[in-house]
Amino acid sequence: MQTSLSDAYRHTAIGQEADAILRSCVHCGFCTATCPTYQIKGDELDGPRGRIYLIKLVLEGQPATAKTQTHLDRCLTCRSCESTCPSGVEYGRLVDIGRALVEQQVGRSLGERLMRRALRSFIPYRNRFAVLLKLGRLAAPLLPSTMRAKMPQAQHAGDWPVAHHARRMLVLQGCVQPSATPLTNAAAARVLDKLGISLLEINASGCCGALSQHLSAEEEACNFARRNIDVWWPHIEAGAEAVVVTASGCGVMVKDYGHLLRNDPAYAAKAARVSALSRDLVEILLREDLTPLAPASAGAIAVHAPCTLQHGQKLPGAVEMLLQRTGFTLTAVPDAHLCCGSAGTYSILQPDLSQQLLHNKLAALGSGQPQQIVTANVGCQMHLASRSEVPVRHWIELFDPR
Ligand code: SF4
Ligand code: SF4
Protein backbone atom coordinates (compact mmCIF):
# COMPACT_ATOMS: atom_id res chain seq x y z
CA MET A 1 0.00 0.00 0.00
CA GLN A 2 1.37 3.41 -0.93
CA THR A 3 1.53 5.97 1.84
CA SER A 4 2.34 9.64 2.17
CA LEU A 5 2.68 10.47 5.84
CA SER A 6 2.04 14.03 6.98
CA ASP A 7 4.96 16.10 8.25
CA ALA A 8 3.64 15.66 11.80
CA TYR A 9 4.40 11.92 11.73
CA ARG A 10 6.92 11.34 8.90
CA HIS A 11 10.00 11.70 11.08
CA THR A 12 8.66 10.25 14.34
CA ALA A 13 9.45 6.73 15.57
CA ILE A 14 5.78 5.70 15.69
CA GLY A 15 5.15 7.28 12.29
CA GLN A 16 7.96 5.26 10.75
CA GLU A 17 6.85 2.07 12.49
CA ALA A 18 3.25 2.56 11.34
CA ASP A 19 4.40 3.42 7.82
CA ALA A 20 6.34 0.16 7.51
CA ILE A 21 3.28 -1.80 8.64
CA LEU A 22 0.94 0.07 6.28
CA ARG A 23 3.27 -0.54 3.35
CA SER A 24 3.24 -4.29 4.02
CA CYS A 25 -0.56 -4.38 3.48
CA VAL A 26 -1.55 -5.13 -0.11
CA HIS A 27 -5.22 -4.40 0.61
CA CYS A 28 -6.29 -7.88 -0.55
CA GLY A 29 -9.04 -8.17 2.08
CA PHE A 30 -8.42 -11.84 2.99
CA CYS A 31 -8.41 -10.79 6.65
CA THR A 32 -11.96 -9.44 6.48
CA ALA A 33 -13.52 -12.90 6.36
CA THR A 34 -12.08 -13.94 9.72
CA CYS A 35 -12.78 -10.69 11.58
CA PRO A 36 -15.44 -11.22 14.28
CA THR A 37 -16.65 -7.62 14.26
CA TYR A 38 -16.97 -7.56 10.45
CA GLN A 39 -18.99 -10.78 10.64
CA ILE A 40 -21.44 -9.13 13.03
CA LYS A 41 -21.57 -5.57 11.70
CA GLY A 42 -21.07 -6.28 7.97
CA ASP A 43 -19.35 -2.90 7.57
CA GLU A 44 -15.93 -2.75 5.87
CA LEU A 45 -14.86 -0.13 8.42
CA ASP A 46 -15.53 -2.65 11.20
CA GLY A 47 -13.04 -5.03 9.63
CA PRO A 48 -9.23 -4.92 9.55
CA ARG A 49 -8.84 -3.58 6.01
CA GLY A 50 -11.20 -0.69 6.75
CA ARG A 51 -9.51 0.09 10.06
CA ILE A 52 -6.09 0.04 8.41
CA TYR A 53 -7.44 2.53 5.87
CA LEU A 54 -8.77 4.79 8.65
CA ILE A 55 -5.41 4.75 10.46
CA LYS A 56 -3.63 5.53 7.17
CA LEU A 57 -5.84 8.58 6.65
CA VAL A 58 -4.98 9.89 10.13
CA LEU A 59 -1.26 9.39 9.54
CA GLU A 60 -1.58 11.19 6.23
CA GLY A 61 -3.02 14.21 7.98
CA GLN A 62 -6.77 13.81 7.68
CA PRO A 63 -8.33 14.76 11.03
CA ALA A 64 -9.68 11.83 13.03
CA THR A 65 -13.38 11.95 13.84
CA ALA A 66 -15.66 10.34 16.41
CA LYS A 67 -16.59 7.84 13.68
CA THR A 68 -12.91 6.86 13.28
CA GLN A 69 -12.72 6.36 17.03
CA THR A 70 -15.88 4.23 17.11
CA HIS A 71 -14.57 1.83 14.44
CA LEU A 72 -11.24 1.47 16.26
CA ASP A 73 -13.00 1.06 19.63
CA ARG A 74 -15.06 -1.80 18.20
CA CYS A 75 -11.89 -3.74 17.30
CA LEU A 76 -11.27 -6.55 19.81
CA THR A 77 -7.50 -6.56 19.17
CA CYS A 78 -8.03 -10.30 18.81
CA ARG A 79 -5.50 -10.41 15.94
CA SER A 80 -7.42 -13.06 14.06
CA CYS A 81 -6.69 -10.88 11.01
CA GLU A 82 -2.95 -11.32 11.61
CA SER A 83 -3.31 -15.09 11.52
CA THR A 84 -5.14 -14.86 8.19
CA CYS A 85 -3.01 -12.19 6.51
CA PRO A 86 -0.69 -13.66 3.83
CA SER A 87 1.54 -10.57 3.94
CA GLY A 88 2.38 -10.67 7.65
CA VAL A 89 0.82 -7.28 8.44
CA GLU A 90 1.33 -6.49 12.14
CA TYR A 91 -2.18 -5.21 12.64
CA GLY A 92 -2.08 -5.43 16.48
CA ARG A 93 0.79 -2.96 16.70
CA LEU A 94 -0.76 -0.70 14.06
CA VAL A 95 -4.10 -0.47 15.88
CA ASP A 96 -2.32 0.40 19.16
CA ILE A 97 -0.57 3.27 17.36
CA GLY A 98 -3.76 4.34 15.57
CA ARG A 99 -5.79 4.37 18.77
CA ALA A 100 -3.23 6.49 20.61
CA LEU A 101 -3.18 9.06 17.78
CA VAL A 102 -6.97 9.19 17.51
CA GLU A 103 -7.25 9.52 21.30
CA GLN A 104 -5.05 12.65 21.12
CA GLN A 105 -7.29 14.23 18.45
CA VAL A 106 -10.81 13.16 19.42
CA GLY A 107 -12.18 13.81 22.85
CA ARG A 108 -14.37 11.46 24.81
CA SER A 109 -17.52 12.20 26.78
CA LEU A 110 -17.16 12.69 30.52
CA GLY A 111 -18.84 9.33 31.12
CA GLU A 112 -16.38 7.52 28.86
CA ARG A 113 -13.42 9.29 30.44
CA LEU A 114 -14.58 8.40 33.93
CA MET A 115 -15.19 4.78 32.98
CA ARG A 116 -11.76 4.43 31.38
CA ARG A 117 -10.08 6.11 34.33
CA ALA A 118 -11.94 3.83 36.77
CA LEU A 119 -10.87 0.74 34.82
CA ARG A 120 -7.25 1.89 34.83
CA SER A 121 -7.41 2.83 38.52
CA PHE A 122 -8.84 -0.43 39.84
CA ILE A 123 -8.28 -3.44 37.62
CA PRO A 124 -4.46 -3.36 37.32
CA TYR A 125 -3.96 -3.09 41.09
CA ARG A 126 -4.22 -6.46 42.80
CA ASN A 127 -5.31 -5.23 46.22
CA ARG A 128 -7.83 -2.71 44.92
CA PHE A 129 -9.35 -5.30 42.60
CA ALA A 130 -9.53 -7.82 45.48
CA VAL A 131 -11.45 -5.31 47.63
CA LEU A 132 -13.79 -4.54 44.73
CA LEU A 133 -14.45 -8.23 44.18
CA LYS A 134 -15.12 -8.80 47.90
CA LEU A 135 -17.60 -5.92 47.96
CA GLY A 136 -19.24 -7.24 44.79
CA ARG A 137 -19.64 -10.70 46.30
CA LEU A 138 -21.14 -9.21 49.50
CA ALA A 139 -23.59 -7.14 47.46
CA ALA A 140 -24.33 -9.95 45.00
CA PRO A 141 -27.85 -10.72 46.34
CA LEU A 142 -28.83 -7.11 45.65
CA LEU A 143 -27.38 -6.98 42.13
CA PRO A 144 -29.27 -7.64 38.89
CA SER A 145 -28.84 -11.23 37.67
CA THR A 146 -26.72 -10.11 34.67
CA MET A 147 -24.16 -8.52 37.00
CA ARG A 148 -24.32 -11.42 39.46
CA ALA A 149 -23.47 -13.82 36.65
CA LYS A 150 -20.25 -11.89 35.94
CA MET A 151 -19.00 -12.40 39.51
CA PRO A 152 -16.42 -15.24 39.57
CA GLN A 153 -17.13 -18.05 42.04
CA ALA A 154 -14.77 -18.08 45.04
CA GLN A 155 -11.94 -20.62 44.62
CA HIS A 156 -9.74 -22.38 47.16
CA ALA A 157 -6.20 -22.27 45.79
CA GLY A 158 -4.73 -24.97 48.06
CA ASP A 159 -1.10 -25.17 49.16
CA TRP A 160 1.84 -23.78 47.22
CA PRO A 161 4.70 -26.32 47.26
CA VAL A 162 7.94 -25.43 49.04
CA ALA A 163 10.61 -24.43 46.49
CA HIS A 164 13.24 -27.20 46.76
CA HIS A 165 14.13 -28.02 43.16
CA ALA A 166 17.31 -26.89 41.44
CA ARG A 167 15.21 -25.93 38.40
CA ARG A 168 13.35 -22.70 39.10
CA MET A 169 10.93 -20.60 37.10
CA LEU A 170 9.17 -17.33 37.88
CA VAL A 171 5.46 -16.84 37.41
CA LEU A 172 3.59 -13.61 36.72
CA GLN A 173 1.19 -12.96 39.57
CA GLY A 174 -0.99 -10.54 37.62
CA CYS A 175 -3.76 -8.26 38.84
CA VAL A 176 -7.19 -9.90 38.48
CA GLN A 177 -6.13 -13.54 38.66
CA PRO A 178 -4.93 -13.69 42.31
CA SER A 179 -8.41 -12.90 43.61
CA ALA A 180 -10.63 -14.08 40.71
CA THR A 181 -8.99 -17.44 39.88
CA PRO A 182 -6.23 -18.06 42.46
CA LEU A 183 -6.34 -21.79 41.73
CA THR A 184 -4.61 -21.33 38.37
CA ASN A 185 -1.13 -20.34 39.55
CA ALA A 186 -1.28 -22.65 42.59
CA ALA A 187 -2.23 -25.60 40.36
CA ALA A 188 0.59 -24.66 37.97
CA ALA A 189 3.05 -24.65 40.91
CA ARG A 190 1.89 -28.11 42.08
CA VAL A 191 2.02 -29.58 38.57
CA LEU A 192 5.48 -28.16 37.86
CA ASP A 193 6.65 -29.36 41.28
CA LYS A 194 5.78 -32.92 40.20
CA LEU A 195 7.91 -32.34 37.09
CA GLY A 196 10.91 -31.24 39.19
CA ILE A 197 10.49 -27.49 38.73
CA SER A 198 9.89 -24.95 41.52
CA LEU A 199 7.63 -22.11 40.48
CA LEU A 200 8.33 -18.84 42.30
CA GLU A 201 5.64 -16.24 42.68
CA ILE A 202 7.36 -12.96 43.55
CA ASN A 203 4.89 -10.95 45.56
CA ALA A 204 5.86 -7.52 44.29
CA SER A 205 5.20 -8.44 40.64
CA GLY A 206 1.84 -7.31 39.39
CA CYS A 207 -0.17 -6.30 36.36
CA CYS A 208 1.56 -6.97 33.05
CA GLY A 209 0.40 -3.60 31.68
CA ALA A 210 -1.89 -4.92 28.93
CA LEU A 211 -4.97 -3.12 30.21
CA SER A 212 -3.22 0.27 30.14
CA GLN A 213 -1.75 -0.48 26.72
CA HIS A 214 -5.17 -1.28 25.26
CA LEU A 215 -6.64 1.88 26.76
CA SER A 216 -3.99 3.97 24.97
CA ALA A 217 -1.96 4.66 28.14
CA GLU A 218 1.39 3.41 26.85
CA GLU A 219 3.62 5.12 29.43
CA GLU A 220 1.54 3.58 32.23
CA ALA A 221 1.96 0.17 30.53
CA CYS A 222 5.73 0.77 30.35
CA ASN A 223 5.83 1.50 34.07
CA PHE A 224 4.06 -1.78 34.90
CA ALA A 225 6.59 -3.55 32.69
CA ARG A 226 9.54 -1.80 34.38
CA ARG A 227 8.27 -2.79 37.82
CA ASN A 228 7.94 -6.45 36.89
CA ILE A 229 11.40 -6.45 35.30
CA ASP A 230 12.91 -4.92 38.46
CA VAL A 231 11.23 -7.51 40.66
CA TRP A 232 12.22 -10.47 38.49
CA TRP A 233 15.71 -9.40 37.53
CA PRO A 234 17.62 -10.64 40.64
CA HIS A 235 15.97 -14.06 40.22
CA ILE A 236 16.83 -14.15 36.52
CA GLU A 237 20.45 -13.36 37.37
CA ALA A 238 20.31 -16.15 39.95
CA GLY A 239 19.34 -18.65 37.24
CA ALA A 240 15.54 -18.72 36.89
CA GLU A 241 15.07 -20.44 33.53
CA ALA A 242 11.75 -18.93 32.45
CA VAL A 243 9.07 -16.36 33.22
CA VAL A 244 5.91 -18.44 33.10
CA VAL A 245 2.60 -16.77 32.38
CA THR A 246 -0.63 -18.65 33.00
CA ALA A 247 -2.94 -16.05 31.44
CA SER A 248 -2.36 -15.85 27.70
CA GLY A 249 -3.52 -12.22 27.56
CA CYS A 250 -0.72 -11.27 29.96
CA GLY A 251 1.73 -13.59 28.18
CA VAL A 252 1.39 -11.75 24.91
CA MET A 253 2.19 -8.52 26.75
CA VAL A 254 5.26 -9.86 28.61
CA LYS A 255 6.58 -11.28 25.34
CA ASP A 256 6.28 -7.74 23.98
CA TYR A 257 8.25 -6.02 26.79
CA GLY A 258 11.38 -6.00 24.62
CA HIS A 259 9.57 -4.07 21.92
CA LEU A 260 7.72 -1.81 24.35
CA LEU A 261 10.92 -0.66 26.09
CA ARG A 262 13.28 -0.82 23.11
CA ASN A 263 13.94 2.93 23.28
CA ASP A 264 14.55 3.02 27.05
CA PRO A 265 18.33 2.78 27.55
CA ALA A 266 17.96 1.70 31.18
CA TYR A 267 15.56 -1.16 30.43
CA ALA A 268 15.88 -2.18 26.76
CA ALA A 269 18.35 -5.04 27.30
CA LYS A 270 16.62 -6.35 30.43
CA ALA A 271 13.20 -6.14 28.76
CA ALA A 272 14.45 -8.07 25.75
CA ARG A 273 15.84 -10.76 28.08
CA VAL A 274 12.56 -11.02 30.02
CA SER A 275 10.62 -11.35 26.77
CA ALA A 276 12.99 -14.03 25.54
CA LEU A 277 12.46 -15.98 28.80
CA SER A 278 8.68 -15.56 28.78
CA ARG A 279 6.64 -18.71 28.14
CA ASP A 280 2.99 -19.58 28.28
CA LEU A 281 2.48 -22.47 30.70
CA VAL A 282 1.48 -24.76 27.83
CA GLU A 283 4.87 -24.20 26.16
CA ILE A 284 6.59 -25.40 29.33
CA LEU A 285 4.52 -28.57 29.65
CA LEU A 286 4.86 -29.45 25.96
CA ARG A 287 8.63 -29.63 26.42
CA GLU A 288 8.66 -31.73 29.60
CA ASP A 289 8.38 -35.46 30.23
CA LEU A 290 4.83 -35.68 31.58
CA THR A 291 5.09 -39.25 32.91
CA PRO A 292 4.83 -38.10 36.57
CA LEU A 293 1.41 -36.58 35.86
CA ALA A 294 -1.57 -38.88 36.07
CA PRO A 295 -4.49 -36.90 34.66
CA ALA A 296 -7.84 -37.98 36.09
CA SER A 297 -10.68 -38.93 33.78
CA ALA A 298 -12.52 -35.71 32.99
CA GLY A 299 -15.15 -36.68 30.40
CA ALA A 300 -15.54 -34.79 27.15
CA ILE A 301 -13.78 -31.42 27.14
CA ALA A 302 -14.21 -28.43 24.84
CA VAL A 303 -11.14 -26.21 24.55
CA HIS A 304 -11.57 -22.47 24.07
CA ALA A 305 -8.28 -21.22 22.65
CA PRO A 306 -7.94 -17.53 23.61
CA CYS A 307 -7.09 -15.15 20.77
CA THR A 308 -4.06 -14.06 22.75
CA LEU A 309 -2.75 -17.63 22.65
CA GLN A 310 -3.57 -18.58 19.07
CA HIS A 311 -3.20 -15.25 17.28
CA GLY A 312 -1.19 -13.12 19.75
CA GLN A 313 1.42 -15.68 20.85
CA LYS A 314 1.06 -17.70 17.61
CA LEU A 315 0.42 -20.95 19.50
CA PRO A 316 -2.68 -22.29 17.74
CA GLY A 317 -3.69 -25.78 18.86
CA ALA A 318 -1.09 -25.91 21.66
CA VAL A 319 -3.49 -26.68 24.53
CA GLU A 320 -5.42 -29.13 22.36
CA MET A 321 -2.18 -30.93 21.45
CA LEU A 322 -1.12 -31.19 25.09
CA LEU A 323 -4.48 -32.52 26.25
CA GLN A 324 -4.77 -35.04 23.42
CA ARG A 325 -1.21 -36.21 24.01
CA THR A 326 -2.04 -36.88 27.66
CA GLY A 327 -5.21 -38.84 26.93
CA PHE A 328 -8.05 -36.37 27.38
CA THR A 329 -11.09 -36.56 25.11
CA LEU A 330 -11.77 -33.32 23.24
CA THR A 331 -14.92 -32.31 21.40
CA ALA A 332 -14.82 -30.52 18.04
CA VAL A 333 -15.25 -26.74 18.28
CA PRO A 334 -16.36 -24.95 15.08
CA ASP A 335 -14.96 -21.51 14.28
CA ALA A 336 -12.30 -21.89 16.96
CA HIS A 337 -10.43 -18.88 15.56
CA LEU A 338 -13.18 -16.46 16.65
CA CYS A 339 -13.04 -14.35 19.80
CA CYS A 340 -15.37 -15.01 22.78
CA GLY A 341 -15.89 -11.26 23.25
CA SER A 342 -13.96 -10.93 26.51
CA ALA A 343 -10.91 -9.09 25.11
CA GLY A 344 -9.73 -7.33 28.27
CA THR A 345 -12.08 -4.46 29.02
CA TYR A 346 -14.05 -4.96 25.78
CA SER A 347 -16.86 -6.80 27.58
CA ILE A 348 -17.38 -3.66 29.71
CA LEU A 349 -16.83 -1.01 27.02
CA GLN A 350 -18.63 -2.76 24.13
CA PRO A 351 -21.24 -4.88 25.93
CA ASP A 352 -23.58 -5.53 22.98
CA LEU A 353 -20.93 -6.84 20.59
CA SER A 354 -19.27 -8.72 23.43
CA GLN A 355 -22.50 -10.51 24.39
CA GLN A 356 -23.22 -11.48 20.78
CA LEU A 357 -19.75 -12.97 20.46
CA LEU A 358 -20.18 -14.78 23.78
CA HIS A 359 -23.49 -16.25 22.66
CA ASN A 360 -21.93 -17.50 19.40
CA LYS A 361 -18.85 -18.86 21.17
CA LEU A 362 -20.84 -20.79 23.79
CA ALA A 363 -23.00 -22.29 21.03
CA ALA A 364 -19.84 -23.42 19.21
CA LEU A 365 -18.21 -24.78 22.37
CA GLY A 366 -21.41 -26.56 23.39
CA SER A 367 -22.04 -28.16 20.00
CA GLY A 368 -20.05 -31.28 20.94
CA GLN A 369 -21.86 -31.56 24.30
CA PRO A 370 -18.78 -31.31 26.53
CA GLN A 371 -18.92 -31.88 30.27
CA GLN A 372 -16.62 -28.93 30.82
CA ILE A 373 -14.84 -26.13 28.97
CA VAL A 374 -11.20 -25.30 29.51
CA THR A 375 -9.29 -22.22 28.46
CA ALA A 376 -5.96 -20.47 29.01
CA ASN A 377 -6.80 -16.93 30.01
CA VAL A 378 -8.50 -15.54 33.11
CA GLY A 379 -10.58 -13.00 31.15
CA CYS A 380 -12.00 -15.64 28.78
CA GLN A 381 -12.58 -18.00 31.72
CA MET A 382 -14.67 -15.46 33.63
CA HIS A 383 -16.51 -14.27 30.52
CA LEU A 384 -17.46 -17.78 29.37
CA ALA A 385 -18.40 -18.83 32.92
CA SER A 386 -20.84 -15.93 33.18
CA ARG A 387 -23.25 -17.69 30.80
CA SER A 388 -21.98 -21.26 30.43
CA GLU A 389 -24.12 -24.19 31.57
CA VAL A 390 -21.05 -26.36 32.16
CA PRO A 391 -18.02 -25.52 34.35
CA VAL A 392 -15.28 -23.37 32.79
CA ARG A 393 -11.75 -23.88 34.15
CA HIS A 394 -8.13 -23.19 33.33
CA TRP A 395 -6.75 -26.29 31.58
CA ILE A 396 -3.96 -26.74 34.17
CA GLU A 397 -6.64 -27.78 36.69
CA LEU A 398 -7.08 -31.01 34.70
CA PHE A 399 -3.57 -32.03 35.80
CA ASP A 400 -4.19 -31.07 39.44
CA PRO A 401 -7.09 -33.27 40.58
CA ARG A 402 -8.05 -32.55 44.19
S1 SF4 B 1 -3.99 -6.90 6.43
FE2 SF4 B 1 -3.22 -8.57 5.18
S3 SF4 B 1 -5.03 -9.76 4.59
FE4 SF4 B 1 -5.76 -7.75 5.30
S5 SF4 B 1 -5.89 -6.49 3.48
FE6 SF4 B 1 -3.84 -6.13 4.31
S7 SF4 B 1 -2.51 -7.61 3.27
FE8 SF4 B 1 -4.64 -8.30 2.91
S1 SF4 C 1 -8.02 -7.54 15.69
FE2 SF4 C 1 -9.86 -8.86 15.54
S3 SF4 C 1 -11.60 -7.44 15.65
FE4 SF4 C 1 -9.77 -6.19 15.23
S5 SF4 C 1 -9.71 -6.01 12.99
FE6 SF4 C 1 -8.44 -7.80 13.51
S7 SF4 C 1 -9.82 -9.57 13.41
FE8 SF4 C 1 -11.10 -7.71 13.47
Q: Is 75 in the pocket of ligand 1 (CB under 6 A)?
A: no
Ligand nearest to the CA of 27: 1
- Ranking 86-100, 204-218, 238-252, 273-287 by mean pLDDT, the lowest is 204-218
Instruction: Report how far Cα 306 is from the mean position of its chain's Cα atoms.
Output: 8
Listed as own residue / partner, the contacts of 126-133 with beta carbons closer than 8 Å and 24 or more positions apart are 126/173, 126/174, 126/175, 126/178, 126/179, 126/206, 126/207, 129/175, 129/176, 129/179, 129/180, 130/178, 130/179, 133/179, 133/180
Does residue 213 sit within a domain? no
Q: Is 58 in the pocket of ligand 1 (CB under 6 A)?
A: no
Which residue among 57, 87, 105 closes a domain? 105
Does residue 233 sit within a domain? no
Instruction: Report how far Cα 223 is from the mean position of its chain's Cα atoms.
Output: 18
pLDDT of 392 higher than 90? yes
Alpha helices for 74-122 (secondary structure H): 80-84, 91-105, 110-122
The mean pLDDT of the chain is 94
- Ranking 161-165, 204-208, 374-378 by mean pLDDT, the lowest is 204-208
pLDDT of 146 higher than 80? no
Does residue 206 sit within a domain? no
Which residue among 80, 105, 130 closes a domain? 105
pLDDT of 295 higher than 80? no
pLDDT the model gives residue 141? 81
Which residue among 69, 89, 105 closes a domain? 105
Q: How far is the CA of 76 from the centre of ligand 2 (A)?
A: 6
Q: How far is the CA of 82 from the centre of ligand 1 (A)?
A: 8
Does residue 86 sit within a domain? yes
Does residue 298 sit within a domain? yes
With cut-offs at 50, 70 and 90, classify the pLDDT of residue 225. very high
pLDDT the model gives residue 346? 94
Q: Is the pTM above the cut of 0.85?
A: yes
Pocket of ligand 2 (CB under 6 A): 35-37, 47-48, 51, 75-81, 91
Return the residue whose CA atom lies nearest to atom 2 of ligand 2: 78
Does residue 217 sit within a domain? no
| Total of domains in the chain | 2
Distance CA 72, CA 64 (A): 11
pLDDT the model gives residue 274? 98
User: pLDDT tens digits, residue range 152-190?
Assistant: 888 999 999 999 999 999 999 999 999 999 999 999 999
pLDDT the model gives residue 401? 85
Task: Spell out the residues 6+ positions from residue 180 whose beta carbon is closer than 8 angstroms to its own.
Answer: 129, 133, 152, 378, 382
Does residue 348 sit within a domain? yes
Q: How far is the CA of 35 from the centre of ligand 2 (A)?
A: 5
Does residue 192 sit within a domain? no
User: pLDDT tens digits, residue range 317-373?
Assistant: 999 999 999 999 999 999 999 999 999 899 999 999 999 999 999 999 999 999 999
pLDDT of 296 higher than 80? no
Can you tell me the mean pLDDT for 275-282? 98
User: pLDDT tens digits, residue range 6-51?
Assistant: 999 999 999 999 999 999 999 999 999 999 999 999 999 999 999 9
pLDDT of 136 higher than 90? no
Can you tell me the mean pLDDT for 304-313? 98
At 217 the three-state DSSP class reads coil
With cut-offs at 50, 70 and 90, classify the pLDDT of residue 137. confident
Q: Structural domain of residue 304, as residue ranges?
A: 293-399
pLDDT the model gives residue 145? 75
